[in-house]
Structure 1
Amino acid sequence: MIRLVGITLGLATLMVSTTPAWGTSPPLRCRRVEEAVVVVACIVQADGTVAECEVVRETAPGCGYAEKALAGVAKARLRSNDTWQPGETIEFTMRFRNP
């Protein structure tokens, strides 16, 4: 069973931590991206952390959002009162919006 967990990250408020690192300027195709969606699937661990995360879908490939999404879910910890079972696969959906 796969559960979905929604997370919205606004680039306007989290600019430093969520803007992909492109070097001097973003690739041309990425400059016009107003919103990017990344879906990451992870396996729940007994302590509420997640492991073996992988990107299953992204709307702006090659623009750095997938890497930021993976870095974000690596810090995720599920609440103990949630109904997740160890070994269960869950999906995080992250939306990145440019100001």
Structure 2
Amino acid sequence: MKQPCVYIMSNRRDGALYVGVTSNLVQRVWQHRSGEASGFTRRYGLHRLVWFESCEEMTSAIEREKQLKAGPRRRKVALIEQTNPEWRDLFDDIVG
């Protein structure tokens, strides 16, 4: 099932952050966790899904991703801590 999402990956609490967009969150997070996703997430070991937001359309997900990437780090941290103050990995929540 395709569901546009914006998501944030991290390696630890207050660690490096990666903002991405996808139409298949489970598959994309698995790619990050398994090292199939090249680049920044592999280099910094960003295996934890710490935040995500579903969108109605891919165009709105892309706009939200751009908004988050352009904003300061403190806004991303605030988003994470609103719903996930322990910065736990949410992957099991979306799989199970």
Give the alignment's TM-score, normalised by structure 2: 0.29
Give the alignment's TM-score, normalised by structure 1: 0.28
Q: Flag the structure with more relative contact order, 1 or 2, with Cα contacts below 8 A and sequence separation at least 6.
A: 1
Which structure carries more strand by proportion?
1
Structure number with larger C-alpha Rg: 1
